[in-house]
Structure 1
Amino acid sequence: MKKAIVFLSLLGLAVSACNNAAPAPENSDAAVAAESKSSDFIPSKAEVDSVSYLVGVNFGSFIKGYNFGDDLNYSQIVKGIKDFVAAEGDFRSPDFASQFKYDPQSMNNAFNSYLEKRQKYTIAVNKEEGEKFLAENASKDSVQVAESGLQYKIVAAGNDVKPGPKDTVWVRYKGTLLDGTVFDQTVEGADSVRLTLDRVIKGWQEGMQLVGEGGKIELYVPSDLGYGDRGAGSIAPGSTLIFDIELTRVGKVEEKSEESK
């Protein structure tokens, strides 16, 4: 889980907006512009709405970056923005934050504490769903359960050539979450991809040794044999994963040694 320095991050959004403002042209037009009164600038409603929306998108990038959604109170977000804008003084000043309920360090601590609690909850929920799925899946006649907890189904056995724990394999595959979402797959119709078994998740390391070259296997991977509590990309922490794999070729360690001579 990434730690956040929330107060400085929000200041960064504001400073970025200020720094990106176009400088006044250094010519006679600038002198004319300097004589203009603030009342001369009367933006249209459409302009105000557009800029307001862009400001929202800017803050939205921060919110989405931490995978927030319906678990936030957006009315409080708006209140926080209004309070920040209405506060007196230079927002870049070290004393600026003293006007708020929390100092910067307390803000960061509260934010990170929330993220940690949320991640623990997400892990617990995902593991519970995974355990339920695996318990039901294990009762199917075609599914076998290894001592490690890995579940698998041999779709096509292939030949007698099976990879070892350090061998290279060429595969076509599709990885899905329990809800059917595809998080990774090889391009349909493209060549198989090359992987080395001692550099993949434990579920693959074990499962690929159970099928022969030319065979197909389905792997049902508990989180501790997958990406664990850290997750990866669109794979949430604690997730049980399903892989459909076709093993097209096996490259034995001794073959690689011969090729390197």
Structure 2
Amino acid sequence: MYKLEKTILAALTLGVLVTAESTAQTIKKTTKPAATVKKSTAAPVKATGSAIVLKNQMDSLSAAIGVSFANSLSSQGISNINHDILTKTINTSLKGDKAAFAPDEANAFIQSYFQKMMEEKGAVVRVEGEKFLEENKKKQGVVTTESGLQYQVIKTGEGPKPAATDKVKTHYHGTLTNGTVFDSSVDRGEPVEFPVNGVIKGWTEALQLMPVGSKWKLFIPYQLAYGERAAGPQIPAYSALVFEVELLEIVK
């Protein structure tokens, strides 16, 4: 379900901490069978920034997994984990003894925890977006459509309006409602081509209203953007989005 969830589940059920399936697959592909692995003759390596001395490959693997696991926790915003319980549970599971959770119980608890965390974060983002759009629609020049899409005309073109089945070339600059830039073809200096019906609903609706040559500012509620899901690390779930879009041409 989540990167961190996979990591913890692996620790509880398999006794191996991995950050994602890709990490596990990489280890599987690159690790030779035990019978063919020669004992390392390299000098012990002192881990940077710590007193831990890595004497062999398994020490290094253990340290690498520890760093990767800690980064997974940090990336999920979890900083107050109980290190003592975590360590004891790992040791207990590795020994094959009974832990605080059975594997299926651990899975259910983790899913419930992260679901609740996402709902709480999503509620905050959703309310902020709704408040922004409620105030924004009162501004001069802002038009609100029946769907809830808001737009402001910066420049009106004189070309034709594209149909949903057309392919168009655009320049755009996308931000969150707080001004944080998450993507910009303008900054890259490279316009983008795509089918009108192949993007988020807010764009699909707006593009069909724009004559070629127009430049609009779009204010898109989360229902017309990425909805209840996040879009990469920069766009949280339930995010209202703001775009400046210039419709350059209908691609024939």
Sort the TM-score into its range (normalised by shorter chain): 0.7 to 0.9
- Partner of 1:12, secondary structure, is coil
Larger radius of gyration: 1
Secondary structure in 2 matching 1:107 = helix
2:237 aligns to what?
Answer: 237
Distance (Å, rounded) in 1 between the aligned partners of 2:226 and 2:70: 28
Aligned residues: 227
Cα contact 1:7–1:104 (8 A) shared by 2: no
Judge conservation of contact 1:6–1:107 (CA < 8 Å) in 2.
Answer: no
Partner deviation per Cα, 1:49-88 (whole Å, 9 max, x = no partner) = 7869745422124325xx521x4423x0x21342145438
CA distance, structure 1, for counterparts of residue 156 and residue 89 of structure 2: 64
Any gaps of 5 or more consecutive residues in structure 1? 34-40, 257-261
Maintained 8 Å contact 1:218/1:245: yes
Q: Could you say what the CA RMSD is over the residues aligned between the two structures, in angstroms? A: 3.2
SS of the aligned residue for 1:205 comes to helix
Q: Return the alpha-carbon distance in structure 2 between the equivalents of residues 204 and 232 of structure 1.
A: 16
1:68 aligns with 2:85: no
1:169 equivalenced with 2:135 (yes/no): no
Note if contact 1:6-1:111 (Cα within 8 Å) is conserved in structure 2. Answer: no
Distance 1:123 1:43 in 2: 44
Distance 1:202 1:55 in 2: 41
Alignment match of 1:57 (pick from 58, 67, 75): 67
Q: Distance in 1 between matches of 2:188 and 2:166?
A: 24
Question: For the Cα contact (< 8 Å) 1:126–1:239, is it kept in 2?
Answer: yes
Aligned residue for 1:141?
140
Q: Unmatched 5+ residue regions in structure 2?
A: 19-23, 55-59
- Which residue of the partner structure matches residue 82 of structure 1? 87
* TM-aligned CA distance change 1:7 to 1:131, over 3 Å: closer
Residue 117 in structure 1 maps to residue 116 in structure 2: yes
> How many angstroms apart in 2 are the aligned matches of 1:83 and 1:198?
53
TM-score, length-normalised on structure 1? 0.74
**TM-score when scaled to structure 2?**
0.77
Q: For 1:210, what is the secondary structure of its paired residue?
A: coil
